[in-house]
Structure 1
């Protein structure tokens, strides 16, 4: 199916199937995309399959957030310790954080609106696209998967849901940073002490600065895997419908209609 990469006989394609995953256009709620960008910069762009932009904002968030101690300040704010929150913040990094954070929200909203328009045009053109690829490293093809299974595996370990639907790059990225967050937050050590009944020790070993990255990361993995499983299923049905109409519908039996005994 490499000919689809080198030729552009149609203006727009709804999807592309490669060894690294299935990338597709579909309708998205711009407000939901913007909300995910607000929850964690980069997530909104990853949901739009804008991977380079999403990964750049994601890594920027982790680096600048840690340098500014923003998560640590949030924890102090939640517990009512405002003076400590102000004390741990690093103003030079915090002021650098704000404009890029706002940009991530604005750009993901703007991009989702534009991509919805492109999808409607691509849906109208209904151009052919590759649905199967096989190579030395991977095999990928359109088929139907269960959204619930994607959610369950994402809850067990973020990234497994993406592997289930063959979003390889996003899966590796998600799993790698989940390992990073879990290790530096000390959450598994805290669970160990919690099972032993040592509550105080469990609280002390956790690092709030890294811990606050985990809820958004898990939530994104669940949402991303669920939505893409549903949309992949729709894409499979759409492609299958077009294939059957083009290859078989013309051969259907046409029964003559008789009117008052006259054919």
Structure 2
């Protein structure tokens, strides 16, 4: 009989696993940067679309620039910088992203409750023209560290190609447009004032969210992959060694064994 629910999937693109998520945590990451919460739920396409529109609408609304003006007390300048038309579009988009990620987490948790006690049926190894993927244990802190150094690197460490590629592309776009590396080079050369002037605050404010969000994603996904590995091992051992017929030593009586 075909199984109604599948709790995990492994292919050359990566691993997709149904695990319980804290909806409030997912909503918080969506508040930090729309799209991140959905990526944590492995809703990659929806997360990519929301992430794309977050950048487009935020940039045209000059929202980050207005936030910087507000932080330094230049409220009149913040009003002039803010594009009201784009800002009004951003408000429902922003709250929808948070609401949708929260309710998506609840719905996925309901599906997880149906499969949490089911045996894991996922291949340990897949071979495809585009690549090889296999289940093994990962070190969560290594994935988090690599994603903190460069968002997406930790996802590549976990062999999760789709989120790694998305994070790589957006990280390059943000790093180039905020001129963070130019600023660092000037700072190393002793031009501290110029290093501050060259920064573009409108793009710079995207960096903390994508760096910490990517690191958190890599850390949590590494834990989930490790748990999936252990569940698959338990399922395999139960199926292969549960019967006495598969033991090297078989029982003849209550206290007697023969080889």
Q: TM-score range by the shorter chain?
A: over 0.9
Task: Kindly state the Cα deviation for residue 130 of structure 1 after the two structures are TM-superposed.
Answer: 3.3
Deviation above 6 Å: which 4+ runs of structure 1? none
For the Cα contact (< 8 Å) 1:159–1:221, is it kept in 2? Answer: yes
For the Cα contact (< 8 Å) 1:13–1:126, is it kept in 2? Answer: no
Name the TM-score, length of structure 2 as normaliser: 0.93
Q: How does 1:91-170 map to 2 (within 5 A)?
A: 91-126=84-119, 128-170=121-163
Q: Equivalent residue of 2:243, what SS?
A: helix
For the Cα contact (< 8 Å) 1:15–1:129, is it kept in 2? Answer: yes
Residue 177 (str. 1) matches residue 144 (str. 2): no
Aligned to 2:180: 187
In structure 1, which of residues 245, 252, 260 is the aligned counterpart of residue 238 of structure 2? Answer: 245
Query: 1:112, 1:147 → 2: CA distance?
Result: 22
What stretches of structure 2 of length at least 5 have no aligned partner? Answer: none
Aligned to 1:49: 42
How many residues of Structure 1 are paired with residues of Structure 2 in the alignment? 251
For the Cα contact (< 8 Å) 1:12–1:127, is it kept in 2? Answer: no
Aligned to 1:236: 229
Query: 2:66, 2:124 → 1: CA distance?
Result: 48
For the Cα contact (< 8 Å) 2:30–2:38, is it kept in 1? Answer: yes
Name the TM-score, length of structure 1 as normaliser: 0.92
Residue 37 (str. 1) matches residue 30 (str. 2): yes
Query: 2:119, 2:38 → 1: CA distance?
Result: 25
Aligned to 1:261: none
Query: 2:251, 2:145 → 1: CA distance?
Result: 48
Query: 1:199, 1:67 → 2: CA distance?
Result: 30
Task: Kindly state the Cα deviation for residue 18 of structure 1 after the two structures are TM-superposed.
Answer: 1.0
Task: Kindly state the Cα deviation for residue 148 of structure 1 after the two structures are TM-superposed.
Answer: 1.4
Q: Equivalent residue of 2:151, what SS?
A: coil
Aligned alpha-carbon RMSD (Å):
1.4
For the Cα contact (< 8 Å) 2:147–2:218, is it kept in 1? Answer: yes
Task: Kindly state the Cα deviation for residue 255 of structure 1 after the two structures are TM-superposed.
Answer: 8.2
Residue 13 (str. 1) matches residue 13 (str. 2): no
In structure 2, which of residues 80, 103, 109 is the aligned counterpart of residue 87 of structure 1? Answer: 80
Task: Kindly state the Cα deviation for residue 121 of structure 1 after the two structures are TM-superposed.
Answer: 0.4
For the Cα contact (< 8 Å) 1:35–1:44, is it kept in 2? Answer: yes
Deviations 1:159-214 (A, max 9, x none): 11000010011111101111111100001110111112211101110000000001
Aligned to 1:3: none
Query: 2:166, 2:32 → 1: CA distance?
Result: 18
Residue 209 (str. 1) matches residue 202 (str. 2): yes
Query: 2:86, 2:177 → 1: CA distance?
Result: 21
Q: Equivalent residue of 2:10, what SS?
A: strand
For the Cα contact (< 8 Å) 2:137–2:229, is it kept in 1? Answer: yes
What stretches of structure 1 of length at least 5 have no aligned partner? Answer: 1-7, 259-263
